[in-house]
A and B are shown apart, each in its own frame.
Chain A
Amino acid sequence: MNRTVLDLWVGFFVAIGIAALLFLALKVGNLSSGHLSETYVLQAKFDNIGGLKVRGPVKSAGVVVGRIADIRFDPATYEAVVTMTLDGRYRFPKDTFASIYTAGLLGEQYVGFDVGGDEKMLQAGDTIAKTQSAVVLEKLISQFLFSKAADGQDKK
């Protein structure tokens, strides 16, 4: 085969191969949006994280503002320590409330920030003081049953 034709075909092949990779990275994957140039780290301690997973989203007002980087168990306090990487563009007040919510009935769990009114902002590496654990369905049901049982006893 002619050398120039061969070069043309191989060049075409490599070009569309790289185009497919770029398509996968930019259009299918989250290279365009997911990797933030500037991030900072916050920590939060929860009594119970439910089904929270590493790489799960951190949302404020429903907008994704960061990702969960790490989940550890603290053997001293028996709490879960959740480390989050947050978008450097967003700062949150010192009295921000971190709660664990569930998206939809069967959906994934995420950390939601309910912003307070403090003048001071959280700095990189800070720990969020106010947290609310995940709602565990069994606990909710047992609470409900106990309160029902208590009601029944009062009536007698």
Chain B
Amino acid sequence: MANPVDLIRRLGHASVERIWRLGFAARFFWAVLMHSGSAFRRMPLTLREIYFSGVLSLLIILVSGLFVGLVLGLQGYETLQRYGSTEALGILVALSLTRELGPVVAGLLFASRAGSSVTAEIGLMKATEQLKAMDMMAVNPIARVVAPRFWGGVISMPLLAALFSAMGVIGGWLIGVVFIGVDDGAFWSQMQAGVDWRYDVWNGVIKSFVFGVAVSLIAVFEGYDSVPTAEGVSRAITRTVVTSALAILALDFVLTSFMFRGAS
């Protein structure tokens, strides 16, 4: 059995390690921002990353959005019909998607689909010493490898979230109007009366942008900081998905409490 002093020392070591890593992540974030200029000067690099994290995530985002919308339509109708207010289905589907589900679920999907692959790519580059080789050739790996991937994710994420919400609304419309037979005019007009462009839609876009920054930063950082072995890279990928999910949900709570303080 470890004696109490040893236990306390281990606790202290773990805390210091965490704080050190947090500080390293912050300085890494700063370095990425400082080297972002090259990501935009050499646009093909960033475009390639938008292709890999954005375009290739399209299918999963669109299909998930559609199904979330379909489920919202069914469940919303089921509950609303008890109160005889099924015309409110449109506003229910649209508000839940634009405010919360769109940014959050798209963020979670994005973290597992694109974030993990970015971590794997950078981690493997590190394991095969490509990053070191770049450094030797006086090519800064943060400017050449990390910054384009970071900005590719940041640009893709709000677009993906908007697509998710739009597909969800279409899904809700399909179930509500086409299959169940809620009045088409009431569906859209209640939605337009209840959803405010700035208050609901734009706040959702801000949320998805913040999630994009968080997920992309976590993904590139975990890859860059991974232990350069097969096991280390696989652990880094796991950490990316877990940390991103926690970060998204925690940030969502903070942002929601600032944005929607019961004003309506």
Contact = CB atoms under 8 A, between A and B. Distances in A.
A13 B195 contact: no
A27 interface: yes
A102 to B, nearest CB: 15
A121 interface: no
Interface of B is mostly: helix
B95 to A, nearest CB: 9
A20 B197 contact: no
Nearest to A35: B197
B226 interface: no
Interface stretch (A3-11, A88-96, A126-134, A143-151): A3-11
Interface in A1-53: 1, 3, 6-7, 9-10, 12-14, 16-18, 20-21, 23-25, 27-35, 53
Interface of B: 44, 47-48, 50-51, 54-55, 58, 83, 94, 98, 156, 158-160, 162-163, 165-167, 169, 188, 191-193, 195-197, 199-201, 204-205, 263-264
28 contacts: A1-B48, A6-B44, A10-B50, A10-B55, A13-B50, A13-B54, A13-B159, A17-B159, A20-B159, A20-B163, A20-B166, A23-B169, A24-B162, A24-B166, A24-B169, A25-B197, A28-B94, A28-B98, A28-B165, A28-B166, A29-B192, A29-B195, A30-B192, A32-B192, A53-B263, A54-B263, A55-B196, A55-B199
The 10 closest A-B pairs by CB, nearest first: A17-B159, A20-B166, A29-B197, A31-B197, A20-B162, A20-B163, A21-B162, A13-B55, A29-B201, A29-B195
